[in-house]
Amino acid sequence: MITNLLVANRGEIALRVVRSCRESGIGTVAVHSDADAGQAHVAAADAAVRLPGVTPAETYLRADALVDAALAAGADAVHPGYGFLSENAAFARAVLAAGLTWVGPSPESMALMGSKVESKRVVAAAGVPVLAELDPDAVTDAEFPVLVKASAGGGGRGMRIVRERAELPGEVRGARAEAASAFGDGTVFCERYVERGRHIEVQVLADTHGTVWAVGERECSIQRRHQKVLEETPSPAVDDRLRERLFDAARAVAETVDYVGAGTVEFLVTESGEFFFLEMNTRLQVEHPVTECVTGLDLVAWQLRIAEGERLTGSPPPVRGHAIEARLYAEDPAAGWRPGSGTLHRFAVGEVGTEFGVPDRHGIRLDSGVTDGCEISVHYDPLLAKVIAWAPGRRAAARRLASTLASARIHGPVTNRDLLVAVLRHPDFLAGETDTGFLTRHHAATVLAAPSESVVRWSALAAALADARHRRAHARVLAELPAGWRNVVSAPHTTVYRHDGTEHAIHYTATRAGLVPADDEDTGVTVVSSAPDRVVLEIAGVRYAFDVARYPGSTAVDSPLGSVSLVPVPRLPDPAAALAEGSLTAPMPGTVVRVAVTVGDRVRAGQPLLWLEAMKMEHRVAAPADGVVRELTATPGCQVDQGSVLAVVAPDGGEADDADDVTTAKEPA
């Protein structure tokens, strides 16, 4: 019997495991880095052990430190969660060697499934269809497009789509470097890339007595950068016959490797109904809540029971209704999915029926590891929360989830919330026309998620009027005068905000009736009421309330028309803050992992100059225009803050140091 369990993870998955342990009467031990000392999972556990350091390599990726923490806290079992060391066979062996119970499959099964190359050979021998492995050095023209994949790990790291032979060598080199950095293994391979394929996975549960359950399928085709964004069950593309074939294949994979515990077998399904084994995740999946909603199973509780030797009896429960999960990330889809960091000032999702648990009725489930005021660190995955809707049918679930996300209050780093809402309301999604190229095909990052200029303008107007009321309410003298009052009326008041790099100047005047807009473009907009935190505007005869919240350096405006984040522009900017023309600044805090140029190199617009690693992903910094590298302050391994100058590219026609000795930069090796 497990009496005290260490959760070798952080954030929302740590809280999820703690929830099931509490309901099972099992004590819990949390671990935390120095950056996570104040996080919710630390407070939720019965005890906590500090892992000195900040980066994953110093903390959550240290098997020895995690085992020592378990022993020091008197734990008798370890649950790895997902990510970090959850699929690391060496960590599982270390846990078992210390006399602790490992809540997961055997190290042998993990090792076998941990290599995409070896796992495909094993399952192919069991009769499960696989895509043929292609040698990167021997791919023929007829085999393009191909997908370059890392043999170890997942999460999109080391993965590239290549459509032309000339691009293959460079993409293979980049994939190897990224895989080596992420997993310590630079092995990559190629396979045929299936256009408009669907990512379908099967949840399995297997006990130590030989019983394997296939517990429903999940569709995870809505992806960015080969990482899942929306997941649902059941799949709109899977009929009873295909479901039976997928379940048979998933059980065959589990039985072939003597699998124990909860795991997921992932397949690629073509438009014609063919399917191919991709990989097996030997852990709990991020998207497990949708399966829990429609089956009523507590998968974490079953992981614990199976680790204690309990049998699976009878048959898996039937599927009831439809569930969709949205992964809410701190990232900017319009900026190449750039992750965000900093203070999350407010996080509020309304009408939540269940948190972390298996719901007993249709509604919204929330699995989140963040709270108001917490810091989103650059060192970890940018996932803020998972919001799950469970309803009688698919369209009802999509509608409920979109409404819940749209009305949420999320103030701080930019998120993918608007993108998620747009996808959930898109006709093709509602029709079940989803595949792994959905976001690219619909230009989702730059079109679907972008608020209209009118909504931004109205939000900025509301912010300006609310700010005027706020200043008057906090005035040290003459606070009784109305906002904007002047003895002699002259020019209108002006407030400027920046949104996505564009400045919006708002002009307004104070009249006997109150504050009114003074711009021709705001004709037809009537101010119904204004207060420091709420402004009601009548637009084309319809009233809308705009809630305004102020934070250092930002203003958040929420309304039924959408949420808009604005940056107030100071009336008198600091001259010292001006940057030299052509300066490239760090879009986020991170570590410089590769530099492809030197001072004096001539570069082309869009050419990669260097790569930053932040939030478990590499991010390319490219030349903004054709020119010459005049300065280069970034070096491999150095830590940089957001806004730090990394390089200066003198545009063509500009001056460059040693201009007579300019070379042309080569593509990175």
Q: How far apart are CA 548 and CA 545, in angstroms?
A: 10
Q: Which CATH number belongs to the domain containing residue 612 in this structure?
A: 2.40.50.100
User: Is residue 111 a part of any domain in this protein?
Assistant: no
Please state whether 84 falls in left (phi above 0), alpha (psi between -120 and 50) or beta: left
Do 174 and 143 lie in one domain? The reply is: yes
SS (H, E, C) 3-61: CEEEECCCHHHHHHHHHHHHHHCCEEEEEECHHHCCCHHHHHCCEEEECCCCCHHHCCC
Q: How far apart are CA 496 and CA 460, in angstroms?
A: 8
Residues 6+ apart with CB under 8 A from 388: 289, 290, 293, 323, 324, 325, 326, 364, 365, 366, 367, 401
Boundary of a domain, candidates 568, 598, 624: 568
Asked whether residue 112 is assigned to any structural domain, the reply reads: no
Asked if residue 486 and residue 433 are part of one domain, the reply reads no
Residue 225: which residues within 8 A CB-CB, separation 6 or more?
156, 337, 617
Using CA atoms, how far apart are residues 205 and 259, in angstroms rounded to an integer? 9
Whether 303 contacts 104, CB under 8 Å: yes
Quote the pLDDT of residue 612.
84
Residue 97 belongs to some domain of the structure: yes
**Domain end: 85, 103, 121, which one?**
103
Return the structure tokens found at 389: 């809707």
**Residue 148 domain boundaries:** 132-192
What are the E-state strand segments in 115-175?
Answer: 133-134, 146-150, 160-162
Q: In angstroms, rounded to a whole number, what is the distance separating the alpha carbons of residues 41 and 33? A: 12
Domain-terminating residue out of 177, 192, 207? 192
Statement to judge: residues 322 and 403 lie in one domain: yes
Asked whether residue 226 is assigned to any structural domain, the reply reads yes
Which burial class, exposed, middle or buried, applies to 277 when counting CB atoms under 10 A from its CB (0-12, 13-18, 19+)?
A: buried
In a domain, 463, yes or no: yes
pLDDT at 151: 82
Q: Which residues are catalytic?
A: 283
Low-confidence ranges of the chain (pLDDT < 50): 654-669
Q: Per residue in 415-434, pLDDT tens?
A: 999 999 999 999 999 999 99
How many structural domains does the chain have? 5
Rounded Cα–Cα distance for residues 112 and 119 (Å): 6
Q: What residues form DSSP beta bridges with 619?
A: 612
pLDDT for 587:
80
Assess whether 542 and 647 both reside in one domain.
no
pLDDT at 446: 73
116 is a domain residue: no
In a domain, 393, yes or no: yes
pLDDT at site 69:
98
Query: Do 209 and 329 lie in a common domain?
Result: yes
Does 366 lie in the same domain as 234? yes
pTM over 0.75: yes
Q: Which tokens in the block code for residue 339?
A: 């992750």
C-alpha 46, offset from chain centre: 29
* Integer angstrom CA distances of residue 112 from 86, 117, 247, 259, 282: 14, 10, 21, 10, 10
pLDDT score for 107: 98
Residue 120, domain member (yes or no):
no
Does 358 lie in the same domain as 261?
Answer: yes
- What CA–CA distance (Å, rounded) separates 200 from 277? 10
In terms of domains, do 441 and 295 share one?
A: yes
142 with 258, same domain: the answer is no
Same domain, 73 and 94: yes
pLDDT at residue 611 in the model: 85
Q: What is the pLDDT of residue 478?
A: 62
Burial label, 299 (beta-carbon count in 10 A; 0-12, 13-18, 19+): buried
Q: Are residue 444 and residue 460 in the same domain, yes or no?
A: no
485 in the same domain as 601: no
